[in-house]
């Protein structure tokens, strides 16, 4: 994109393009094989490649190998740096860098000091974060190049929705320095949606999608209106408390205590940096294993004081001790829906993306928040779900293949605000039908938050034939709440029990109380103001009427109606206000 | 996109619906009915849109900026917003005393307190981390002092855990609003002052919405609602935050039990005290609440008014009944009197008629006698008898009016021939009318 000022990319015909997701924790590269996106394994066989560089004796390691060096070589290992691109030192959160090279202030930017050259006498280098990113991207590109057998020149890279212009520019510049042309930066949640929509069996529908991007150091949730295959982000929330490392921490604390209990007198492994690093690595591995099995083992050689430690944990126990994090994620997702001005009943799909989305409990919990009909696309809740760790890279690869033949200038023109910023209708537009009771009901044709121009068509039945009325109206939803019959409270007996009990189990009784009273909530369409009426005469018995509504970019409306399979019909226009 | 199929039928065209080309334009989508938003420039459908939108046209930097300004912002600005000076005392706090720290103040959320949203807490935390992370201080060459950072972490841990946050909010005195003093109340502002108190107390309510205190314009119903709600207040406030630490080792089991029991009792006691406190608050407030007095007065005035009205109505009803009864009695009496006079008049008339008949009959008989029974000379007894017999016959066959008419004709006549002529005429009339048979009354005709 032209934001970068780096425009001297290769000719479209010379390009080899890939999709890249570049996370704080992990990165992936993907490529289109026979129109199907595939995430590429690097030379270590990893598809989720840790975003880490490590230098040992002047040798550069990246990915899983570099991650393993967090135990023995933390000061020459750089991890969790992506979010520092394009930021000043005072604006960065160094929390996750505590167990590796620490970020420092260096002018307008952030840098790391590491020994990246061989030889005792060599001085340590100070690497700007952009340089670290460039070196890391170079490794990704070379892995892809090696795999594809031709030099990768260009990529689409995913970024969080809250990346600002400076961060974007810094990322594009870092890629350019790695000899990689950035065709486009696309937002992570939209890449995930595209990955699903590009499946051959996918149908293009108007729907509201919540994308929960659950990574290692951050959780981002976006509410996306998907309208005729075009995507509009309605709201986002970002969270840096409830993510993968918080779950690691829960397990680290659990096993550290377990260790100390079983080895009385032994030191707390969390108090020594090296032991802590071992604890962390193994806790993460155990956590991943718990996504698949009902039990997982934990074993570390010489966890503290030279004592080897092996233990196991079952999933139930894990879900209990991690409950605060899981509930935090629930609240986060709910807050995003609320921020979009929607209700959980408005949401058609929830896409879980990012490594932490493998966790079965998280998917199950979200299933409980949303109504039955909402699809929760995660491995634990839907067998057709795509691997959540691969969604972003796949989406990026798809987009890359769509635009690889565009001139850079064309991409720039097509993606800028003059094209992307368009009016979206606030209300639904639809027709009036009769329900079983013969009452008038609103049937949406154009959904709210549809970008214009837009055209939608419906086939409405006319079982009795004859002359029918096509009444075009605006519509709105509201949530109808039916309260349950108030139950007689068993307060007294309960209160007596609490008083008897020595230990506090009030919490539990509160909990069950909440579950008892469930109110019924449903989404109901309300008929709004009338836009137009049209008559279609002489419809065959058992016929169908095709109504199509076209909203122009100036908000004018064209209504057409004709009998399906018939000739003629009605057509009328409403001018814009 | 494919057409969606809708099984619900279209309504029939109403009778008399008429429009040119069968189409009536009625409304339009207004500018307010649309929001400028930014499409994600991703996917095949967007690229098709872009192709159509550009249509061989390139957009200038100005177009771009203008369009961007119009678009509704989805991302909020991460920087700014929450800022509050950090006082030196606070920065020197020992993280070990975390129980007594003001978690909101540590995160710079003093003015939000229990009202702070989860998002605000997270942002505040992040802001503090950016500033106070020990690695940043170390980078700036300062001693690695992570004490305040630990305070920040503790504050966040408490405030982001709904259970722990409630426990802390339960005892967050900074959020309390003291009830107004007499002195304050003297200056007026009764409603405003108590409003603040109850708004602050409302944070403990399990039920929502909590009725507000209102003002002097509140209706009786609202005020009653308010006090009902608050006298039955269902509070989640609890006091475990003030528990004394329970030893965490296995050795001191008895002591642990003891501490736990002590804590449980302390909580219960504090909870009871809190209930009493709230009750007293309500008693004090309602005692000074002019609205209650006013409603009471109004109620009693209304009650009196009702009684008056009821009594007046009763009186009126009694009076009406009495008048009605009198009227009825009078009417009955009058009717009776009228009947009586009518009866008497009737009798008189009858008597008069009878007398008239008698008198007339006397005239009739007298005329015969005056006419000497139509005999020459002295009339024989037989003649007299037969003539009087026929007179009787005639009389018997005519009604009183005819008797009177006949008498009138005879009255004053003295000449026998004239008298006889009258009788003859009468008999002949009667015979003609068939009231007498031919031959009857012949003594009067001869
Ligand atoms: N199977 C699994 N089950 C549970 N957690 C997993 C699994 N696989 C990966 N994770 C966790 O997912 C997190 C990494 O997520 P992801 O690969 O999406 O990273 P990212 O987007 O780079 O993260 P960040 O939020 O730091 O930018 C890690 O915490 C990792 O432990
Ligand atoms: Mg991520």
Give one DSSP letter per residue of A319-332, joined into a string: HHHTHHHHHHHHHH
Peptide bond into A118 cis (omega under 30): no
- Dump pLDDT digits (tens) for B188-206: 889 999 999 999 999 999 9
Q: Would you say the CB of residue A475 lies under 6 angstroms from ligand 1?
A: no
Domain A428-478+523-574 architecture: Sandwich (2.60)
* Residues in chain B, overall count: 446
Chain A positions touching B71 (Cβ under 8 A) are 417, 420-421
Determine the distance in angstroms separating the CA of B168 from the nearest CA of chain A, rounded to an integer. 16
Q: Would you say the CB of residue A217 lies under 6 angstroms from ligand 1?
A: yes
Neighbours of ion ligand 2 (CB under 5 A): A 23, 215, 354
Peptide bond into B209 cis (omega under 30): yes
Name the packing angle between helices B400-410 and B416-432 (round to 10°).
Answer: 150
pLDDT at A432 over 50: yes
For a mutational test of ligand 1's pocket, the pick from A39, A244, A296, A378, i.e. the residue with the most ligand atoms closer than 8 A to its C-beta, is A244
Neighbours of B195 (CB within 10 A): 16
**pLDDT range class, residue A256, cuts 50, 70, 90:** very high
Distance CA A173, CA A156 (A): 14
Strands (E), A419-519: 421-425, 428-434, 440-446, 454-462, 466-482
Determine the distance in angstroms separating the CA of A422 from the nearest CA of chain B, rounded to an integer. 5
Q: Would you say the CB of residue A138 lies under 6 angstroms from ligand 1?
A: no
- The dihedrals phi and psi of B102, each to the nearest 5 degrees, come to -90, 100
Q: Hey, are the CB atoms on A331 and B118 less than 8 Å from each other?
A: yes
Q: What is the CA(A6)–ligand 2 centre distance, in A?
A: 26
- Pull the structure tokens for residue B41: 């420039």
- Nearest 5 degrees, angle CA A24-CA A300-CA A321? 65
Q: Would you say the CB of residue A291 lies under 6 angstroms from ligand 1?
A: yes
- Pull the structure tokens for residue B413: 């006549």
Q: What is the CA(A96)–ligand 2 centre distance, in A?
A: 15
For position A79, what pLDDT does the model report? 98
Q: Which residue of B has its CA nearest to A553?
A: B53
Distance CA B219, CA A49 (A): 67
**Which ligand has the minimum distance to the alpha carbon of residue A243?**
1
For position B82, what pLDDT does the model report? 61
The SS3 call for residue A228 is coil
Q: Hey, are the CB atoms on B139 and A403 less than 8 Å from each other?
A: no
pLDDT at A504 over 70: no
- Whether A310 contacts A304, CB under 8 Å: no
pLDDT at A536 over 90: yes
Q: Would you say the CB of residue A25 lies under 6 angstroms from ligand 1?
A: yes
pLDDT at B423 over 90: no
**pLDDT range class, residue A512, cuts 50, 70, 90:** very low
pLDDT at A217 over 60: yes
pLDDT at A488 over 70: no
- Whether A572 contacts A532, CB under 8 Å: yes
Neighbours of A421 (CB within 10 A): 22
Share of residues in chain B with pLDDT > 70 (%) = 95
- Pull the structure tokens for residue A38: 């595939």
Share of residues in chain B with pLDDT > 90 (%) = 51
Chain A positions touching B75 (Cβ under 8 A) are 161-162, 236
Least confident stretch, A344-348, A443-447, B75-79? B75-79
Distance CA B370, CA B363 (A): 10
Distance CA B7, CA A441 (A): 12
For a mutational test of ligand 1's pocket, the pick from A354, A385, A388, A390, i.e. the residue with the most ligand atoms closer than 8 A to its C-beta, is A354
For position A109, what pLDDT does the model report? 94
pLDDT at A486 over 80: no
Least confident stretch, A407-421, A502-516, B35-49, B88-102? A502-516
pLDDT at A203 over 70: yes
| CATH for the A244-323 domain, from 3.90.640.10, 3.40.50.2000, 1.20.58.110, 3.30.465.10 | 3.90.640.10
Chain A positions touching B133 (Cβ under 8 A) are 93-95
Q: Which residue of A has its CA nearest to B50?
A: A414
- Give the 3-state DSSP-derived string for chain B, with helices as H, strands as E and coil as C: CCCEEECCCCCECCCCCCCHHHEEECCCCCHHHEEEEEECCCCHHHHHHHHHHHCCCCCCHHHHHHHHHHCCCCCCCCCCCCCCCCCHHHHCCCHHHHHHCCHHHHCCCCCCHHHCCHHHHHHHHHHHHHHHCHHHHHHCCCCCCCHHHHHHHHHHHHHCCHHHHHHHHHCCHHHCCCCCCHHHHHCCCHHHHHHHHHHHHHHHECCCCCCCCCCCCCCHHHHHHHHHHHHCCCECCCCHHHCCCCCCCCCCHHHHHHHHHHHHHHHHHHHHHHHHHHHHHHHHHHHCCHHHHHHHHHHHHHHHHHHHHHHHHHHHHHHHHHHHHHHHHHHHHHHHHHHHHHHHHHHHHHHHHHHHHHHHHHHHHHHHHHCHHHCCCCCCHHHHHHHHHHHHHHHHHCCHHHHHHHHHHHCCCCCHHHHHHHHHHHHHHHHHCCCCCCCCCHHHHC
Neighbours of A259 (CB within 10 A): 25
Per DSSP, A431 falls in state E
Distance CA B182, CA B187 (A): 9
- Give the 3-state DSSP-derived string for A148-186, with helices as H, strands as E and coil as C: HCCCCCEEEEEECCCCCHHHHHHHHHHHHHCCCEEEEEE
Provide the b/e sequence for A292-321 (b: ≥16 CB within 10 Å): eeeebebebeebbeeeebebebebeebbee
Distance CA A391, CA A404 (A): 20
Q: What is the CA(A425)–ligand 1 centre distance, in A?
A: 37
Q: Which residue of B has its CA nearest to A535?
A: B22
pLDDT at A389 over 90: yes
Q: Would you say the CB of residue A337 lies under 6 angstroms from ligand 1?
A: no
The SS3 call for residue A45 is coil
Chain A positions touching B116 (Cβ under 8 A) are none
pLDDT at B394 over 90: no
Which one is predicted more confidently, A299 or A508? Answer: A299
Q: Which of A224, A133, A143 lies closest to A174 in space, CA to CA? A: A133
User: CB-CB: which of B22, B65, B136 is closest to A94?
Assistant: B136
Helix (H) or strand (E) holding A405: none
Q: Which of A129, A186, A175, A171 lies closest to A152 in space, CA to CA? A: A175
What's the Cα-to-Cα distance from B119 to each of A209, A229, A307, B196, rounded to whole Å?
A: 21, 31, 43, 25
Chain A positions touching B9 (Cβ under 8 A) are 433-434, 460-464
The ranges of chain A annotated as CATH 3.90.640.10 are 244-323
The ranges of chain A annotated as CATH 2.60.34.10 are 428-478+523-574
Q: Hey, are the CB atoms on B6 and A433 less than 8 Å from each other?
A: yes
For position A4, what pLDDT does the model report? 44
**Which ligand has the minimum distance to the alpha carbon of residue A189?**
2
For position A555, what pLDDT does the model report? 93
* Segment A411-416 mean pLDDT: 92
Q: Hey, are the CB atoms on A464 and B42 less than 8 Å from each other?
A: no
Determine the distance in angstroms separating the CA of B200 from the nearest CA of chain A, rounded to an integer. 23
Determine the distance in angstroms separating the CA of A218 from the nearest CA of chain B, rounded to an integer. 12
- Dump pLDDT digits (tens) for A373-388: 999 999 999 999 999 9
**Which ligand has the minimum distance to the alpha carbon of residue A27?**
1
Distance CA B341, CA A437 (A): 78
Please give the ipTM for the structure prediction.
0.90
Distance CA A541, CA B376 (A): 123
- Pull the structure tokens for residue B233: 């207040």
- Whether B249 contacts B259, CB under 8 Å: no
Which one is predicted more confidently, B309 or B66? Answer: B309
Determine the distance in angstroms separating the CA of A112 from the nearest CA of chain B, rounded to an integer. 11
A202-240+324-387: CATH superfamily: ATPase, nucleotide binding domain (3.30.420.40)
Helix (H) or strand (E) holding A348: none
pLDDT at B76 over 80: no
The SS3 call for residue A473 is strand
- The dihedrals phi and psi of B146, each to the nearest 5 degrees, come to -110, 20
For position A301, what pLDDT does the model report? 96
User: CB-CB: which of A231, A435, A458 is closest to B43?
Assistant: A231
**pLDDT range class, residue B390, cuts 50, 70, 90:** confident
Q: Which of A423, A422, A426 lies closest to A529 in space, CA to CA? A: A426
- Dump pLDDT digits (tens) for A167-197: 999 999 999 999 999 999 999 999 999 999 9
- Whether A529 contacts B27, CB under 8 Å: yes
The ranges of chain A annotated as CATH 3.30.420.40 are 2-188+392-420, 202-240+324-387
User: CB-CB: which of B36, B68, B78 is closest to A162?
Assistant: B78
Q: Which residue of B has its CA nearest to A562?
A: B22
Q: Which residue of B has its CA nearest to A203?
A: B1
Which one is predicted more confidently, A370 or A575? Answer: A370
Any idea which residue has 């393993």 for tokens? A68
pLDDT at A491 over 80: no
Cβ neighbors of B400 (< 8 A, separation 6 or more) are B353, B356, B357, B360
Distance CA A19, CA A10 (A): 17
For a mutational test of ligand 1's pocket, the pick from A24, A26, A158, i.e. the residue with the most ligand atoms closer than 8 A to its C-beta, is A26
Q: Which of A88, A111, A93 lies closest to A101 in space, CA to CA? A: A111
Q: Hey, are the CB atoms on B1 and A327 less than 8 Å from each other?
A: no
Distance CA A94, CA B134 (A): 9
According to CATH, the topology of domain A2-188+392-420 is Nucleotidyltransferase; domain 5 (3.30.420)
For a mutational test of ligand 1's pocket, the pick from A50, A212, A216, A250, i.e. the residue with the most ligand atoms closer than 8 A to its C-beta, is A216
Q: Would you say the CB of residue A216 lies under 6 angstroms from ligand 1?
A: yes
- The dihedrals phi and psi of A387, each to the nearest 5 degrees, come to -50, 115
Distance CA B2, CA A456 (A): 8
Interface with A, mutate which of B5, B20, B22 (most A CBs under 10 A): B22
Distance CA B100, CA B96 (A): 9
Distance CA B134, CA B149 (A): 7
- Dump pLDDT digits (tens) for B293-322: 999 998 899 889 999 999 999 999 999 999
- The dihedrals phi and psi of A120, each to the nearest 5 degrees, come to -55, -40
Q: Hey, are the CB atoms on A416 and B135 less than 8 Å from each other?
A: no
Q: Would you say the CB of residue A160 lies under 6 angstroms from ligand 1?
A: no
Q: Hey, are the CB atoms on A417 and B68 less than 8 Å from each other?
A: yes
* Residues in chain A, overall count: 577
* Segment A153-159 mean pLDDT: 98
**pLDDT range class, residue B143, cuts 50, 70, 90:** low
Cβ neighbors of B15 (< 8 A, separation 6 or more) are none
Q: Would you say the CB of residue A284 lies under 6 angstroms from ligand 1?
A: yes
Q: What is the CA(A231)–ligand 1 centre distance, in A?
A: 25
Q: Which of A247, A239, A196, A206 lies closest to A221 in space, CA to CA? A: A239
């Amino acid at each position: 994109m032209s934001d970068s000022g780096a425009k001297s990319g290769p000719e479209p015909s010379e390009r080899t393009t890939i999709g890249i997701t570049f996370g704080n924790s992990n990165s992936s590269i993907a490529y289109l094989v026979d129109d199907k996106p595939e995430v590429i394994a690097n030379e270590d066989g990893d598809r989720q490649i840790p975003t880490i560089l490590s230098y040992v004796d002047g040798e550069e390691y990246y990915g899983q190998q570099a991650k393993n060096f967090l135990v023995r070589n933390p000061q020459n290992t750089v991890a969790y740096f992506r979010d520092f691109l394009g930021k000043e030192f005072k604006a960065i959160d160094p929390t996750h860098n505590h167990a590796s090279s620490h970020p420092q202030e260096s002018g307008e930017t952030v840098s790391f000091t590491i020994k990246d050259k061989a030889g005792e006498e060599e001085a340590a280098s100070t690497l700007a974060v952009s340089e670290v990113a460039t070196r890391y991207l170079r490794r990704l590109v070379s892995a892809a190049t090696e795999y594809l057998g031709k030099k990768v020149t260009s990529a689409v890279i995913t970024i969080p929705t809250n990346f600002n212009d400076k961060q974007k520019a810094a990322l594009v510049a870092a890629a350019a320095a790695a000899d990689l042309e950035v065709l486009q930066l696309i937002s992570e949640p939209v890449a995930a949606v595209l990955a699903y929509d590009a499946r051959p069996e996918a149908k293009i529908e108007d729907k509201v999608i919540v994308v929960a991007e659950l990574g290692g150091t951050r959780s981002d949730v976006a509410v996306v209106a998907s309208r005729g295959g075009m995507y509009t982000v309605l709201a986002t929330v970002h969270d840096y408390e409830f993510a993968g490392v918080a779950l690691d921490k829960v397990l680290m604390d659990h096993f550290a205590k377990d260790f100390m209990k079983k080895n009385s007198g032994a030191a707390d492994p969390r108090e020594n940096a090296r032991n802590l690093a071992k604890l962390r690595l193994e806790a993460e591995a155990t956590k991943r294993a718990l996504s698949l099995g009902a039990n997982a083992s934990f074993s570390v050689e010489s966890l503290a004081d030279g004592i080897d430690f092996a233990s196991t944990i079952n999933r139930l126990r894990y879900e209990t001790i991690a409950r605060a994090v899981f509930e935090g994620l629930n609240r986060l997702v709910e807050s995003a829906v609320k921020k979009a001005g929607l209700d959980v009943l408005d949401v058609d799909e929830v896409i879980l993306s990012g490594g932490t989305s493998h966790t079965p409990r998280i998917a199950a919990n979200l299933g409980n928040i949303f109504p039955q009909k909402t699809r929760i696309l995660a491995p634990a809740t839907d067998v057709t779900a795509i691997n959540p760790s691969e969604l972003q890279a796949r989406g990026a690869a798809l987009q890359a293949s769509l635009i690889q033949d565009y001139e850079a200038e064309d991409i720039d023109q097509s993606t800028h605000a003059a094209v992307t910023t368009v009016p979206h209708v606030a209300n639904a537009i639809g027709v009036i039908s009769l329900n079983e009771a013969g009452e008038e009901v609103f049937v949406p044709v154009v959904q709210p938050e549809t970008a214009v121009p837009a055209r939608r068509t419906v086939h409405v039945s006319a079982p009795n034939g004859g002359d029918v009325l096509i009444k075009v109206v605006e519509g709105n939803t509201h949530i109808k709440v039916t309260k349950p019959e108030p139950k007689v409270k068993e307060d007294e007996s309960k209160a007596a029990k609490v008083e008897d009990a020595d230990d506090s189990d009030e919490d539990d009784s509160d909990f069950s109380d909440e579950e008892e009273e469930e109110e019924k909530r449903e989404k109901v369409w309300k008929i709004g103001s009338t836009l137009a009426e049209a008559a279609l005469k002489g419809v065959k018995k058992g016929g169908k009427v095709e109504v199509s509504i076209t909203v122009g970019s100036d908000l004018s409306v064209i209504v057409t109606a004709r009998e399906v399979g018939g000739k003629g019909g009605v057509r009328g226009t409403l001018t814009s206000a | 996109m494919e057409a969606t199929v809708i099984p619900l039928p279209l309504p029939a065209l109403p009778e008399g619906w008429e429009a040119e080309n069968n189409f009536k334009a009625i409304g339009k989508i207004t500018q307010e009915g649309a929001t400028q938003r930014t499409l994600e420039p991703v996917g095949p459908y967007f690229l098709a849109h872009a192709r159509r939108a550009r249509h061989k046209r390139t957009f200038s930097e100005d177009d771009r900026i203008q369009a961007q300004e119009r678009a509704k912002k989805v991302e909020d600005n991460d920087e700014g917003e929450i800022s509050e000076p950090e006082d030196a005392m606070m920065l020197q706090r020992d993280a070990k005393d975390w129980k007594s720290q003001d978690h909101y103040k540590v995160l710079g959320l003093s003015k939000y307190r229990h009202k702070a949203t989860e998002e605000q807490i997270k942002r505040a935390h992040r802001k503090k981390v950016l500033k106070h992370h020990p690695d940043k201080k170390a980078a700036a060459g300062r001693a690695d002092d992570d004490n305040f950072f630990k305070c920040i972490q503790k504050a966040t841990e408490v405030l982001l855990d709904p259970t722990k946050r409630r426990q802390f909010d339960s005892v967050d005195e900074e959020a309390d609003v003291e009830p107004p003093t007499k002195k304050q109340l003297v200056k007026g502002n009764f409603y405003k002052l108590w409003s603040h108190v109850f708004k602050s107390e409302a944070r403990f309510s399990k039920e929502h919405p909590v009725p507000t205190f209102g003002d002097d314009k509140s209706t009786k119903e609202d005020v009653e609602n308010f006090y009902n709600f608050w006298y039955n207040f269902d509070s989640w406030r609890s006091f475990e935050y003030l528990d004394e630490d329970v030893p965490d080792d296995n050795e001191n089991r008895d002591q642990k039990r003891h501490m736990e029991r002590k804590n449980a009792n302390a909580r219960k006691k504090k909870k009871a005290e809190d209930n009493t406190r709230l009750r007293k608050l309500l008693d004090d407030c309602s005692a000074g609440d002019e609205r209650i007095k006013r409603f009471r007065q109004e109620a009693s005035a209304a009650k009196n008014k009702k009684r008056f009205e009821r009594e007046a109505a009763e009186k009126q009803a009694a009076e009406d009944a009495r008048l009605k009864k009198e009227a009825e009695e009078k009417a009955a009496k009058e009717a009776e009197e009228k009947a009586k006079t009518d009866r008497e008049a009737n009798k008189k008339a009858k008597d008069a008629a009878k007398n008239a008949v008698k008198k007339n009959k006397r005239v009739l008989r007298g005329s015969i006698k005056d006419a000497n029974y139509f005999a020459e000379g002295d009339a024989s007894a037989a003649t007299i008898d037969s003539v009087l017999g026929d007179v009787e016959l005639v009389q018997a066959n005519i009604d009183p009016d005819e008797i009177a008419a006949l008498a009138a004709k005879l009255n004053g006549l003295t000449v026998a021939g004239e008298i006889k002529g009258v009788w003859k005429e009468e008999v002949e009339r009667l015979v003609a009318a068939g009231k007498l048979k031919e031959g009857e009354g012949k003594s009067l005709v001869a």
